[in-house]
Structure 1
Amino acid sequence: MSTQEQRVSWSDSFSQAQTAIQSLSTIIPSIPESVSSSDSPASALLNDPQLAAQISDLLRQPDSGAGDNQLCRWLYDTFHTSKFDLQLVILRFLPIIAGVYLSRIPLRKPLAGFEAVLLAIYAHETASRNGQPITIHIPDLSHPSVYHEGKHSNKSTPNLAVVSPNLEPQGTIRSTKRAQIIGVALELYHSKIVDMPIQSKIDFCEFCTIWAGEDGDFYKDFPNEGNQKGKDGVEKKEGRILLPWEMLQPILRILGHCLMGINKKNKKNKELYEAACCACRSLYARALHDINPKAILATGSLLNLINIQKTGVDHTEIPITKIIHL
C-alpha cells in the first residue's frame, strides 16, 4: 500500500469512528471529552473506561436486547463498517452481550437486538474463513518427540484436530445452532484478546462464573480439595446455562489467557487473575456435577496451571507437558 493509500485509509477510518461517536452521543447520557476530542477516536471508543461503563449499564437494562433497541442497532451498524479498529470496539462488549443474552433466553424476552449483533459477528467469521474449519496438527505420539517425526512421517494421513468446524450461513439463531454461533463469536474474541481492555476480560470471567452455576470455592486448594474444610458449599443455580463443547472450548482458551492476567504492557493484573481463578473453579465444579470427562480434564488442567503459578514458577518456564492443549 502506497503512502497516499495509507493516508486515505487512515482518513476513512478516522471519519467513520467520528461518525460512530456522533451516533452514539444520541444514545448514551454523555460522551466523555477524552473520546469526543481524541486524535484516535476508535482507540478512545475501545479503551475509555467512563464510556465503557455507560454502554455496559445500557446493555444490562431490562429492554436492552429488543429488536428496536438503539444501542443494539449502533453495535450492529458499527460492526458492519468493516473497519478493524471499530470491530474491536464491538468485540470489547461481547462478554456482556453474550452473558445477558444467554441469561434471558429462559425468560422468553425479546432478544432480536442481541441476536442481530451475534449473527453479524458469526457472518463475518463465516466469510473470513470461507466456511472452512480451523484445524491444528497433532504430533505423532508414536515418536519420542516432534523432532523425531522427520522425513518418514506419513504425510498422506496427517494428525489433524478440528478446533472449529466448517461454518454455514445462518439467518436466525435457532436453539440447535445457538452454541455454535456464540462459540464462533467467542473464538473471534479470543483471537483479538490481546487488544481487549482488562475490564472486558473481567466481565467475561464473571459471566463464566454465572454460567457455571456452581460454587467453586471448594477447589481453591486443588488438587488437594479432599483435605479442605467447608465442604457444605452452596450451589449457585441462578444464571446456569447449558455449556456444550462448542462454547466451552473457546471459553477455556479465553480463561487460559486471563489466568496469566497480562495486559498490553505485559504487567499482571491481580483483579483479572482472581476473576479468572474463580471462573475456572466454578467451571471445574460444573464439569464434575455434569460428569463430563472432557470438561473435567480441561478445567482441571487450568486449575493445575493456577497451582503452578502459586509456587512462584514463571509461566514462561512451565514445561509444555504440564499444560493440556485446549
Structure 2
Amino acid sequence: MSADPQTPPPATATATATSTATATASPAKLQTAIDSLSSIVPALSTLTPSNLLTNPDLYSNISALLRQPNSGAGDNNLCRWLYDTFQSGVADLQLLVLRFLPVIAGVYLSRVADRKPQAGFEAVLLALYAHETTSRAGQPVSITIPDLTQPSVYHEATGKSPSKSTGAAESDLAVVSHALEPHGTVRSTRRARIVGVALELYYTKIAHMPISSKIDFCEFCKVWAGQEGEMYEKFEEDEEENEEGGVGSAMEVKVRKKVEGRVPLCWELLQPVMRILAHCLLGPNNNKEVVLFEKANEACRSLFARSMHDVNPKAILPMRSLMRLSKTLMPNSKHLDPTELPYSDVISL
C-alpha cells in the first residue's frame, strides 16, 4: 500500500516543525533581546522589533560603550548581551551583532599589548568562530581556478599542456581558508586565526552592514597598521613621472610615525582585511559614499606602508593593486575603465 502523498516523510515533518517553532520563537527572542539591551543602554528604550536594524542611534550608542576603557571585561553586561544575542540563532539578531565586529576586533587587538583580561570580547569572538566552524562542517573554503590552457566560452587555448589530457577542462583548487578546528579559549597562537575567521563571517554578510560599521573597520585598519600612509597618497603619479622622465624617485621621504595600537599582521588576519577593504573600495555604489571611499583609501595606504616596512611581498602586491584600482574610481580620474559602457541621453533606433 502506497504512502499518502499529502503526508510528508518523518525527516521533512521534523524539519518543518523545527522551522515553524523557530519562526514562532523569533518575535519573542527579538523582544527579549530588546528588553535586555534597554536595561543596559537606557537611551535605547524606544527600540522595537521593527526598527531594530534601522534605528540611527543604536550603532553610535553601543559603539561608544564598546570603546570605553572598562569594556571587554568578563563581567561586562554589553559583551554578555552580544554573546547571548548571537547565540539566539535569529538571523536579524546575528546581523545586529556582526555590525559591531569591527569595533570589537579593533579595540580587542589594540589592547592585546596591554595584557589586560578581555574575556568579554573573547567570548563574542569565540561565538562567531564556533558558528563558522559549525557552518563549514570541517571543510575548507576553496575556489576553483580554471586552466587557461583549456578552451572556454571566453577564449581559445593558445597551446596544450602535455601533462594534461585533452578531455574535460581541468581546474586547480585553491584553498582560501583552511578547515577550522574547534577552540574554547583564545591563546596568542590562535588569536589571529580566530579574529580572521570572524572577519570572514563579517565579509559574507557585508552587504547587510551599515556604512558606519565599514568606516569604523577602515579606521581600525589604520590603527593596526601602525604606519602613516600619506607618503603613498600620490605614489602612482610619482611613479608615472619617474617612468616618463627617467629620473630617480621624486617621492618625498617622510618619517613614518608609528601609531599606538599596531598589531602583528599575519596572513590569516590580513587576507580577510583585504577582502573587506576591496568591497569598501570597489563594491556597488561605494564610490558614491565619499567618506567610506576616502577612509578605505587611507586604510590601504597605511597597510601598504606597513607591508613595505615589513618587506611582505605577499601583502605588497594585493595592497598595491587595490590602490591602483581605487584610482580608477576617483572623481575626475584620468584612468578610464575600458569595460564601462558609454552613457548618452540620445536614444538611437
TM bucket normalised to smaller: 0.7 to 0.9
Equivalent residue, structure 1, for 2:112: 105
Q: Which amino acid aligns with 2:25?
A: D
| CA deviation map 1:16-59 (0-9, x unaligned) | 111101001111131153x23x5x2xxx3333221211101110
1:152 maps onto 2:152 in alignment: no
Report if the CA contact (8 A) 1:46-1:92 is conserved: no
**CA–CA distance in 2 between the matches of 1:28 and 1:92?**
17
Indicate how the Cα distance of structure 1 residues 230 and 126 shifts in structure 2: closer, same or farther if over 3 A, else same. same
Cα RMSD over matched residues?
Answer: 2.8
Which of the numbers 259, 262, 279 marks the counterpart of 1:237? 259
| CA deviation map 1:211-246 (0-9, x unaligned) | 011111111123234566653244233111001111
Equivalent residue, structure 1, for 2:81: 74
**CA–CA distance in 2 between the matches of 1:235 and 1:141?**
44
User: 5 Å matches for 1:259-278?
Assistant: 259-260=281-282, 262=284, 268-278=288-298
Indicate how the Cα distance of structure 1 residues 55 and 212 shifts in structure 2: closer, same or farther if over 3 A, else same. same
Q: What's the offset of the Cα at 1:85?
A: 1.1
Equivalent residue, structure 2, for 1:191: 204
Indicate how the Cα distance of structure 1 residues 312 and 5 shifts in structure 2: closer, same or farther if over 3 A, else same. farther
1:219 maps onto 2:232 in alignment: yes
**CA–CA distance in 2 between the matches of 1:195 and 1:316?**
30
Task: Single out whichever of 141-150 and 98-107 deviates more from structure 2.
Answer: 141-150
Equivalent residue, structure 2, for 1:177: 190
User: 5 Å matches for 1:199-218?
Assistant: 199-218=212-231
Report if the CA contact (8 A) 1:91-1:189 is conserved: yes
Report if the CA contact (8 A) 1:99-1:207 is conserved: yes
Which of the numbers 99, 105, 122 marks the counterpart of 1:115? 122
**CA–CA distance in 1 between the matches of 2:313 and 2:216?**
27
Q: Which amino acid aligns with 1:244?
A: C
Which of the numbers 143, 166, 169 marks the counterpart of 1:136? 143
Indicate how the Cα distance of structure 1 residues 5 and 169 shifts in structure 2: closer, same or farther if over 3 A, else same. closer
**CA–CA distance in 2 between the matches of 1:87 and 1:167?**
20
Instruction: Point out the structure with max Rg over C-alpha.
Output: 2
Equivalent residue, structure 2, for 1:167: 180
**CA–CA distance in 2 between the matches of 1:31 and 1:173?**
32
Equivalent residue, structure 2, for 1:309: 329
Which of the numbers 28, 36, 39 marks the counterpart of 1:26? 39
**SS of residue paired to 2:53:** helix
1:248 maps onto 2:270 in alignment: yes
Q: Which amino acid aligns with 2:225?
A: A
Equivalent residue, structure 2, for 1:323: none
Q: Which amino acid aligns with 1:306?
A: S
**SS of residue paired to 1:162:** strand
Report if the CA contact (8 A) 1:261-1:269 is conserved: no
Q: TM-score, normalised by structure 1?
A: 0.86
**SS of residue paired to 1:116:** helix
| CA deviation map 1:123-179 (0-9, x unaligned) | 000001002100001121434766547973464xx4011100000100101111111
**CA–CA distance in 2 between the matches of 1:169 and 1:6?**
26
Q: TM-score, normalised by structure 2?
A: 0.81
Structure 1's unaligned 5+ residue stretches are 319-326
**CA–CA distance in 2 between the matches of 1:317 and 1:272?**
24
**CA–CA distance in 2 between the matches of 1:267 and 1:223?**
19
Equivalent residue, structure 1, for 2:98: 91
**SS of residue paired to 2:235:** coil
Q: What's the offset of the Cα at 1:98?
A: 0.3
Which of the numbers 269, 273, 291 marks the counterpart of 2:311? 291
Which of the numbers 61, 69, 77 marks the counterpart of 1:62? 69
| CA deviation map 1:99-139 (0-9, x unaligned) | 00001111011111000000000000000100210000112
Equivalent residue, structure 2, for 1:322: none
Report if the CA contact (8 A) 1:213-1:239 is conserved: yes
| CA deviation map 1:48-105 (0-9, x unaligned) | 2212111011101111111111000000000000111110011000000000000111
Report if the CA contact (8 A) 2:281-2:287 is conserved: no
Equivalent residue, structure 2, for 1:47: 54
Report if the CA contact (8 A) 2:132-2:197 is conserved: yes
Indicate how the Cα distance of structure 1 residues 225 and 119 shifts in structure 2: closer, same or farther if over 3 A, else same. farther
More helix by proportion, 1 or 2? 1
**SS of residue paired to 2:143:** strand
**SS of residue paired to 2:260:** coil
Report if the CA contact (8 A) 1:262-1:269 is conserved: no
